Amino acid sequence: MQGGVGAFTRAMARAMADLGHEVRVLTSVKAAGGDEPGVPVDAIIDRWRYGALRAAEGWARAHNLDAVNLQYQTAAYNMSPFIHFLPRTLRRVAPVFTTFHDLRVPYLFPKAGMLRFFLVLAMARGSTGTIVTNHEDESILAVDPRVKRLRRIAIGSNVRAAVPPGYDRAAWRAQIGAGPGDLVVGYFGFLNMSKGAHVLVGAAAKARAAGVPIRLLMVGGRAGDSDPTNLEYGKTVDGLIAHLGMEDRIHWTGFVDDAAVSGHLLACDLCALPYRDGVSYRRGTFMAAIAHGCAVVTTMPDVDIPELMSGQNVRLVPRRDADALAEAIIELADKPDVRARLGRGARELAALFTWDKLAAETLAFFEEVLERYLPSDPVL
């Protein structure tokens, strides 16, 4: 399935299986045929309603599971409230660890965010153990005394960084109409308001007006399988592109496999990721960019992230500021040495988040919780 949660689950399950564990996945019927080697995928959930809770309970019981790890992000379950009750349902069968990919709640209607966040908190409180993927979410749940056994474990790149066989960078650039003198600026991910594609389009137009021979390479699918608001936002971005006369400067790859994503990212001179709420380790697109050694220009994080050093492994700019992003692009356009330094720093940063390390860290947390808390835990 298209989306960060699906990509994460595939990579984490594969890594855990490589470490010798038996792993199987329960998911939507949309993922039918998505088996990984050594990882059976039970794509049997038609809709994430009440019936899905009973189906999940029966699945866990039938396979005699030692633990269930729920991968949670609101939009991934079609905004259904029933998913929030899954930890308490499954605890009758097996310990449940919930991995929260993103605690932010989407806008549905006035005051809906408060209700949904209450459900999220109840979900964390009802889990045997809780995992967050980033500093921001950790700071939110850490202050709740009823959320116990909390651990921050980052995500890795949702795309394997592998050079396609016979890779010719110039040829890949030529496919999008880019010549040797063009500055190819990549964007990776769906067109979602939070990812700031409209800010990038505006910045690219400003850089072009300043004389930079810029080409935007938009890598990946536009909408994905999760968030229905992506379609409307995509129309807004298209309208801005037309208004600024940037159609001939933008190339869309559409949804492509990992090898093609790698080829395109490696063809870029810069990767611009202007997240509206700041860069975060929750962003699989950012993790993919640094794993490929891209020179990344992105927005300042919402909280302090010590590993991020502007000018060393990323270039940070203010959030929601097309002018600042344009200035960074213009500055870096004529500085290949600085771009190369950023790329080297990005690879060094990405080495902290390889899937074998993250899988081992996750499994160690499971074992720690099961050994220390399970025998005396009154809720199990």
Check whether residue 249 and residue 286 sit in a common domain: yes
- The whole-number pLDDT of residue 113 equals 61
- Number of Cβ within 10 Å of residue 324's Cβ equals 19
Check whether residue 252 and residue 272 sit in a common domain: yes
Mean pLDDT of the chain: 92
**Do residues 379 and 129 make contact, with C-beta atoms less than 8 angstroms apart?**
no
Residue 275 to residues 107, 155, 195, 272: CA-CA distances in angstroms?
17, 17, 4, 9
Residue with the two structure tokens 């009758």: 92
Q: Is 9 exposed, middle or buried (0-12, 13-18, 19+ CB in 10 A)?
A: buried
Check whether residue 132 and residue 226 sit in a common domain: no
Q: Choose between 378 and 304: higher pLDDT.
A: 304
Cα(89)–Cα(232) distance, rounded to whole angstroms? Answer: 35
Least confident of 1-5, 213-217, 270-274, 299-303: 1-5
- The whole-number pLDDT of residue 188 equals 97
pLDDT in tens, 213-226: 999 999 999 986 66
**Do residues 116 and 82 make contact, with C-beta atoms less than 8 angstroms apart?**
no
Residue with the two structure tokens 């939009």: 75
Q: At what angle do helices 4-18 and 284-291 cross, to 10 degrees?
A: 60
pLDDT in tens, 224-270: 666 778 899 999 999 999 999 999 999 999 999 999 999 999 999 99
Residue 309 in any domain: the answer is yes
Cα(337)–Cα(196) distance, rounded to whole angstroms? Answer: 27
pLDDT band at residue 380 under the 50/70/90 scheme: very low
Q: Residue 92: what residue type?
A: R
* Residues facing residue 131 across a β-bridge: 99, 151
**Do residues 321 and 300 make contact, with C-beta atoms less than 8 angstroms apart?**
no
Range of the domain at 230: 169-352
State yes or no: pLDDT of 110 exceeds 60: no
- The whole-number pLDDT of residue 49 equals 92
> Looking at residue 190, which CATH number applies to its domain?
3.40.50.2000
State yes or no: pLDDT of 103 exceeds 50: yes
- The whole-number pLDDT of residue 379 equals 45
Sequence-distant (≥ 6) Cβ neighbours of residue 233 within 8 angstroms = 191, 192, 193, 197
Check whether residue 187 and residue 134 sit in a common domain: no
- The whole-number pLDDT of residue 223 equals 83
Check whether residue 175 and residue 117 sit in a common domain: no
pLDDT band at residue 108 under the 50/70/90 scheme: very low
- The whole-number pLDDT of residue 194 equals 92
pLDDT in tens, 81-95: 899 999 999 998 999
Check whether residue 95 and residue 190 sit in a common domain: no
For CA atoms 105, 109, 115, 119, give the dihedral sign.
negative
Sequence-distant (≥ 6) Cβ neighbours of residue 287 within 8 angstroms = 154, 155, 156, 157, 158, 281, 350, 353
State yes or no: pLDDT of 106 exceeds 60: no
State yes or no: pLDDT of 195 exceeds 60: yes
State yes or no: pLDDT of 282 exceeds 50: yes
- The whole-number pLDDT of residue 162 equals 83
Check whether residue 15 and residue 118 sit in a common domain: yes
- The whole-number pLDDT of residue 272 equals 98
Residue 107 in any domain: the answer is yes
**Do residues 198 and 321 make contact, with C-beta atoms less than 8 angstroms apart?**
no
Check whether residue 335 and residue 372 sit in a common domain: no
Check whether residue 227 and residue 367 sit in a common domain: no
State yes or no: pLDDT of 375 exceeds 70: no
Residue 218 in any domain: the answer is yes
- Among 366, 363, 360, CA closest to 97: 366
- The whole-number pLDDT of residue 279 equals 96
- The whole-number pLDDT of residue 3 equals 81
3-class SS of residue 247: helix
First and final CA of the chain: distance in angstroms? 33
pTM for the full model?
A: 0.85
State yes or no: pLDDT of 114 exceeds 80: no
Backbone angles phi and psi of 313, in degrees to 5: -120, -10
Check whether residue 75 and residue 37 sit in a common domain: yes
3-class SS of residue 77: helix
Cα(221)–Cα(256) distance, rounded to whole angstroms? Answer: 7
Sequence-distant (≥ 6) Cβ neighbours of residue 309 within 8 angstroms = 345
Q: Choose between 33 and 191: higher pLDDT.
A: 191
Sequence-distant (≥ 6) Cβ neighbours of residue 362 within 8 angstroms = 12, 16, 69, 131, 153
- The whole-number pLDDT of residue 299 equals 98
Residue 163 in any domain: the answer is no
pLDDT in tens, 142-185: 999 999 899 999 999 988 888 889 999 999 999 999 999 999 99
Residue with the two structure tokens 């809780």: 130
Residue with the two structure tokens 């203010």: 318
- The whole-number pLDDT of residue 158 equals 83
Cα(316)–Cα(302) distance, rounded to whole angstroms? Answer: 12
Check whether residue 359 and residue 343 sit in a common domain: no
Mean of pLDDT values over 43-60: 95
**Do residues 196 and 321 make contact, with C-beta atoms less than 8 angstroms apart?**
no
Which two tokens mark 193? 């308001």
State yes or no: pLDDT of 376 exceeds 60: no
Check whether residue 319 and residue 369 sit in a common domain: no
Sequence-distant (≥ 6) Cβ neighbours of residue 175 within 8 angstroms = none
Mean of pLDDT values over 314-324: 98
pLDDT band at residue 112 under the 50/70/90 scheme: low
Residue 162 in any domain: the answer is no
Number of domains in the chain: 2
